[in-house]
Amino acid sequence: MRAVVLVGGFGTRLLPLTLSIPKPMLPVGHVPIIERLVAQLGRGGISDVTLALGFKPEPFVEAFPSGECGGVALHYAVEPQPLDTAGAIRFAATASGIDETFVVVNGDVLTDLDVAQLVRFHRDRGAEATLHLIAVPDPSAFGVVALDGEDRVERFVEKPAPGTAPSNLVNAGTYVLEPSVLRRIPGDEKISIERATFPAIADGRGLFGLATDDYWIDTGQPEFYLQANLDVLAGLRRNDRCQAVHPDANVDGTATIENALIGPGATVGAGAVVRRTVVLSGAAIGEGAAVTDSVIMGQVGPNASVHDCVIGATGVIGSGEHLHHQRRPQPAPK
Ligand code: GTP
């Protein structure tokens, strides 16, 4: 079976990390998100993945020069301009000649869902489209569904105002679609599957949802990107684990690394303390610095203290500086 993975978004909520690396290429447990995602699809019987690319396509093509990732064949569809989720699915599926039931995944979602289970459920219901659903405490930031007694989606509401959500079951970003869904999407137009296509399919009674309690995280915001890394480190993923310190990292023997990941080529100086933090490839933490609850791609000077910060590749924290709850460089105002 074939899948389309959406990887063409701007990743604005993860700025400034996404200034230099597109979101799905950011590492979780030292491995790019897209690689973990494609490997999980392969375990569920997906043989071919088309990456729906737009913004910054080159890093994907360069990362997988053989056109293969974890035993799954990769194809690339590069949009001439951003088409939003439905437009991107139509463009990528058409470009790669998909004309059978297929799977779609948001490129920033990590889950232990067995996609073969979702496909079986879809076929058993005779669905036109099937969503993977997850129960969350606060659904207001997601697409929320109301199901009837036969798992049919009665209503699909994208990001309802707090307190108005019809349930706590949300769209978890993995779908099974019939090719007829493509004919619902006007060509070459910017259009959202969440706001336009799913509500229309629900109106025609063809949209179903399978709720599971598999591991699931949307890595699109800094706190969740950090959490996804800590989860792999803690062994919470069924098939994935990682070491805290990558063998190619350079960590001084007197540094303290607690519940943190240090990527290849990163350095941590003498006496530095790093807790609940991801130090990405190429980053440097100076001697005596204290870094907590942060994601670091840039440079942290000696004896600086950094808490709850996101530091991009060009971000520099000066010697002895104290930084709390900030992004460097600061994203430009919209
Ligand atoms: P934010 O800017 O932080 O909202 O991130 P995003 O741009 O990735 O948007 P969002 O997380 O809502 O997108 C969900 C998925 O769809 C992600 O995997 C995106 O890469 C992808 N996506 C969003 N818009 C487009 C688009 O216009 N084209 C393509 N190909 N993918 C898209």
Q: Looking at the structure, do residues 118 and 15 belong to the same domain, yes or no? A: yes
Confidence of residue 163 (pLDDT cuts 50, 70, 90): confident
Does the pLDDT at position 103 exceed 90?
A: yes
Average pLDDT over residues 284-290: 98
Q: Are strands 48-53 and 2-6 parallel, antiparallel or unpaired?
A: parallel
Q: Looking at the structure, do residues 49 and 171 belong to the same domain, yes or no? A: yes
User: Tokens for 260?
Assistant: 């943190």
Closest C-alpha to ligand 1, atom 15 = 106
CATH number for the domain spanning 281: value is: 2.160.10.10
- Check if 8 has its Cβ closer than 6 Å to any atom of ligand 1: yes
Q: Looking at the structure, do residues 217 and 254 belong to the same domain, yes or no? A: no
Q: Looking at the structure, do residues 207 and 276 belong to the same domain, yes or no? A: no
Whether 240 maps to a domain, the answer reads no
Q: Looking at the structure, do residues 258 and 114 belong to the same domain, yes or no? A: no
Q: Are strands 109-111 and 68-69 parallel, antiparallel or unpaired?
A: unpaired
Q: Looking at the structure, do residues 143 and 257 belong to the same domain, yes or no? A: no
Confidence of residue 333 (pLDDT cuts 50, 70, 90): low
Q: Can you list the positions of beta strands (E) in 192-314?
A: 207-211, 216-218, 250-251, 256-258, 261-262, 267-268, 273-275, 278-279, 284-285, 290-292, 295-296, 299-300, 305-307, 310-311
Q: Looking at the structure, do residues 220 and 258 belong to the same domain, yes or no? A: no
Closest C-alpha to ligand 1, atom 1 = 11
If one counts the domains in the chain, the total is 2
Whether 98 maps to a domain, the answer reads yes
Distance 277 CA to ligand 1 centre (A): 25
Per-residue pLDDT tens digits for 21-47:
999 999 999 999 999 999 999 999 999
- Check if 237 has its Cβ closer than 6 Å to any atom of ligand 1: no
Does the pLDDT at position 187 exceed 90?
A: no
User: Tokens for 46?
Assistant: 């997906």
- Cβ atoms of residues 310 and 295 within 8 Å: yes
- Cβ atoms of residues 187 and 90 within 8 Å: yes
Q: Looking at the structure, do residues 191 and 103 belong to the same domain, yes or no? A: yes
Closest C-alpha to ligand 1, atom 23 = 9
Q: Looking at the structure, do residues 210 and 286 belong to the same domain, yes or no? A: no
Atom of ligand 1 nearest to the CA of 109: 18
Percent with pLDDT over 90 in the chain? 85
Percent with pLDDT over 70 in the chain? 99
Which is more confident, 249 or 141? 249
- Cβ atoms of residues 77 and 97 within 8 Å: no
CB contact burial 232-242 (16+ within 10 A = b; e otherwise): bbeeebeebeb
Q: Write the DSSP symbol of residue 318.
A: -
Q: Looking at the structure, do residues 218 and 260 belong to the same domain, yes or no? A: no
Residue recorded with tokens 């437009």: 87
Whether 296 maps to a domain, the answer reads yes
Whether 232 maps to a domain, the answer reads no
Does the pLDDT at position 334 exceed 70?
A: no
Distance 255 CA to ligand 1 centre (A): 38
Domain boundary among 224, 240, 258: 224
In the predicted model, what is the mean pLDDT of the chain? 94
Average pLDDT over residues 207-233: 97
Q: Looking at the structure, do residues 32 and 80 belong to the same domain, yes or no? A: yes
| Residue 274: domain span | 250-328
Q: Looking at the structure, do residues 189 and 119 belong to the same domain, yes or no? A: yes
CATH number for the domain spanning 181: value is: 3.90.550.10
Whether 87 maps to a domain, the answer reads yes
Q: How many other CB atoms sit within 10 Å of the CB of residue 113? A: 23
- Cβ atoms of residues 88 and 79 within 8 Å: yes
* pTM (two decimals): 0.95
Task: Give the H/E segment covering residue 143.
Answer: strand 143-147
Please calculate the CA angle 220-187-160 and round it to the nearest 5 degrees.
40
Whether 334 maps to a domain, the answer reads no
Distance 111 CA to ligand 1 centre (A): 17
Whether 27 maps to a domain, the answer reads yes
What is the 3-state composition of the chain as percent helix, strand, coil, each rounded to the nearest 5? 25, 30, 45
Does the pLDDT at position 67 exceed 80?
A: yes
Q: What is the pLDDT of residue 227?
A: 98
d(Cα 205, Cα 261) in Å, to the nearest integer?
Answer: 46
Whether 230 maps to a domain, the answer reads no
Cross-strand bridge partners of residue 166:
none
